[in-house]
Amino acid sequence: MGLSERIDNAVMQAVATGQGGVAPRQLAEALRYATTPGGARIRPTILTSVAMACGDDRPQITDAAAAALELIHCASLVHDDLPCFDDAETRRGKPSVHRAYGQPLAVLAGDSLIVLAFEVLARVAHLDAGRSARLVLTLAQRTGMPNGICAGQGWESEPQVDLRAYHRSKTGALFVAATQMGAIAAGQEPDDWEELGARIGEAFQVADDLRDALYDSDTLGKPAGQDDLHRRPNAVSELGVEGAIKRLTDILSGAIASIPSCPGEAALAQMVRMQAERLIPVITPVAK
């Protein structure tokens, strides 16, 4: 089983946990709709790659962690797409959840996915209660207030934005969760893994800024030009297109250099390089 299949299976198994028995049909469907087809599943891919680099001695815990992180990411997309935020008509090339199911079910689908993420982590506590609890704590800290993606979105309502805190929480938080939860799932200390996650997060922020500024909605599969429209801070407006691309490659080199010493260090560096190649060629031709 390849990595991508492993992660998809873990996510689908987690979603099924939220759908069993006598459940309201449309909300159950909305949970599946919001999580399939997967996007690149980048966060759980990083998480699982880190866990494998650390030995992956409890693969069921790794799978739970990967699924939980992806559920939180999907929940954030559902809520961010709501009319009171981005009012996005489309997501991943199909109608956004509130367009397909209405706003009430979109709010509830997001809420349910958040809760399900923590349930999935609690369900592997019989394998190692300590790891389960550390995963819950790390995921919560990177999701909620004051440092998680909720905080990141909250900064957009502030008249005065702390840009460093904004970027760190809005985009960086779930990448730090990815590397740290991968380490925890494999029984390692998470502290050394923060920098790798933070740098990957910065790289994705810059790549996302480039895409938002350069692409149209059809290519993105979601509305383009949102940063300009909502006057959000953006690396392209700050550095120009060439400058932003230079910055992206620098950050990715730094990410690879920051990988802590571990049994699977070389393979992990290779994974980060692959992710980097996915980001950069997509942007370069458009920028020229």
Compare residues 46 and 173 and give the one whose CB is closer to a second copy.
173
Does residue 115 interact with a second copy by CB under 8 A?
yes
By CB under 8 A, name the one of 10, 31, 173, 196 that touches a second copy. Answer: 31
Minimal distance, residue 158 CB to a second copy, in Å: 5
169: phi then psi, degrees, rounded to nearest 5: -85, -40
Minimal distance, residue 95 CB to a second copy, in Å: 17
CA gap 152, 166 in Å, rounded = 5
Site string for a second copy, 51-80 (x = CB under 8 A): ------------------------x---x-
| DSSP designation for 89 | S
- Indicate the angle between helix axes 173-185 and 194-214, nearest 10 degrees: 140
Amino acid identity, position 281? P
Compare residues 101 and 175 and give the one whose CB is closer to a second copy.
101
Nearby residues of 146 by Cβ (< 8 Å), 6 or more positions away? none
Compare residues 141 and 237 and give the one whose CB is closer to a second copy.
141
Q: Is 154 helix (H, G, I), strand (E, B) or coil?
A: helix
Compare residues 223 and 260 and give the one whose CB is closer to a second copy.
223
Does residue 229 interact with a second copy by CB under 8 A?
no
Query: How many CA within 13 A on the CB side of residue 42?
Result: 18
Compare residues 1 and 84 and give the one whose CB is closer to a second copy.
84
Minimal distance, residue 219 CB to a second copy, in Å: 27
Site string for a second copy, 9-28 (x = CB under 8 A): ---------xxxxxxxxxxx
By CB under 8 A, name the one of 41, 73, 134, 167 that touches a second copy. Answer: 134
Take residue 66 and report the two structure tokens written for it.
Answer: 């990967």
Amino acid identity, position 51? A
Compare residues 97 and 244 and give the one whose CB is closer to a second copy.
97
Nearest to 66 by CA among 82, 50, 79, 88: 50
Does residue 280 interact with a second copy by CB under 8 A?
no
CA gap 145, 42 in Å, rounded = 23
Alpha helices in 36-169 (DSSP H): 42-53, 59-80, 97-101, 103-122, 129-143, 149-155, 163-167
Torsion sign over Cα 184, 190, 194, 200: negative
CA gap 3, 1 in Å, rounded = 7
By CB under 8 A, name the one of 49, 112, 179, 205 that touches a second copy. Answer: 112
Compare residues 27 and 287 and give the one whose CB is closer to a second copy.
27
- Chain residues binding a second copy by CB under 8 A are 18-28, 31, 75, 79, 82, 84-85, 101-105, 107-108, 110-112, 114-116, 118-119, 121-123, 125, 129-130, 132-134, 136-137, 140-141, 143-148, 150-151, 153-158, 162, 165
